[in-house]
Amino acid sequence: MRLIISGGGTGGHIYPALAIIEDLMQQEPNSEVLYVGSKRGLEGDIVPKQHIPFISLEIQGFQRSMSFAGIKSNLQTVRLFLKSVREAKRIIKDFKPDLVIGTGGYVSGAVVYAAAKLKVPSMIHEQNSVVGLTNKFLSRYVDKIAIGFPEAKEQFPEAKVSFTGNPRAQQVANIHSDFSWTEYGLVDTKPTILIFGGSQGAPKINSAVVDAMPEFNQRDYQVVFVTGKNRYTDIMKRLATIDLNDNIAVLPYISNMPAVLPKVDVIVGRSGATSIAEITALGIAGVFIPSPYVTADHQTKNTMSLVNAGAGIMIKEDELNGNSLLKVVDDLMTNDTKRKQMATNSKQLGVPDASDRVLSLGRSIKK
């Protein structure tokens, strides 16, 4: 297969795309793949390191502000989009793909729209339960739509939609891990909770953990607290008055997170689509603190799909503090039956063949 794939801006769009590419190359090693991303997004750093051919387009998002500066920026957004569509058409004509897939972000809007106009088989993947602006726009033009949450179905043209799950799930589920907690001075024989607010850390989550740390320090279970690289020094200063026991590990970042996750009994963190895909693929009980700063509050809606299935617990950020966090964590970490049932429910939501489903859907498009 000759595949063009486009997804940009955040890891939530990039990692599902990489998972699809990895699965395709395993299925059809002679395939040729081209990744088209944006100049400003993380993909420009991440994708080339995977030795995947990469082309970038200059594109930007819309501003919600109706100020003069906002209007001026939006006019520039339109100009860059039209320019990117022209460039994408040229790229598509040169590469001659069998299929074009968009996994989200403004750059995928230009690339997939160009493919549709050229009558090249095209599809999109929507990771979240609330459909993004780009995928809403593209849904009118693409041949197929893959979704990661069943709740997204009603937001698209019904005839085009198939539930596939998030491709990242299959990638994580297939990882063989020989990781040991001894790498962080812990043991492998105790229940372990991982608290992680994302690569940059989440200030409200970090503050709640600091407040709860004197109590965590006295528990029989283990606590792995990942602060975020830029917040580690400040957090360690705040914890300086506490003599941390050997059941606590405070880390700035975990670079091999997929290898670590199979050793986690409960995870506390945000509820982005990629995180949920990883958690459900492995069957981990989760305590979710949705970010209130995302479009259409989609993390809350992502979380509710797990809460309703008995696969997670939600703490709203404005209700988060040391006491509320400690109460929920203690309830799970000291109740093996409840924790294991939640893990089982989580596993039942996972889609271990998500990448296969996406590729099969793409192959089914006939022009």
308 is in an annotated binding site: no
User: CA of 169: how far to CAs of 143, 311, 345, in Å?
Assistant: 24, 16, 16
44 is in an annotated binding site: no
Which residues does 364 contact at the CB level (< 8 Å), separation at least 6?
A: 144
Which residues does 33 contact at the CB level (< 8 Å), separation at least 6?
A: 2, 3, 4, 5, 21, 24, 25, 52, 53
Nearest to 320 by CA among 197, 201, 204: 204
Rg (CA), the chain: 21
10 is in an annotated binding site: yes
The Cα–Cα gap between 132 and 197 comes to 22
User: Which residues is 34 bridged to in the sheet?
Assistant: 4
Q: Where are the alpha helices (DSSP H) in 118-263?
A: 133-138, 167-173, 203-216, 232-238, 257-260
Which residues does 296 contact at the CB level (< 8 Å), separation at least 6?
A: 130
230 is in an annotated binding site: no
73 is in an annotated binding site: no
Six token digits for residue 238? 């705040």
Q: Where are the alpha helices (DSSP H) in 36-151?
A: 43-46, 68-95, 106-117, 133-138
User: CA of 251: how far to CAs of 105, 232, 233, 333, in Å?
Assistant: 31, 7, 10, 21
185 is in an annotated binding site: no
- DSSP tag of 190: S
11 is in an annotated binding site: yes
Binding residue ranges: 10-12, 128, 199, 254, 299
Binding residue ranges for UDP-N-acetyl-alpha-D-glucosamine: 10-12, 128, 199, 254, 299
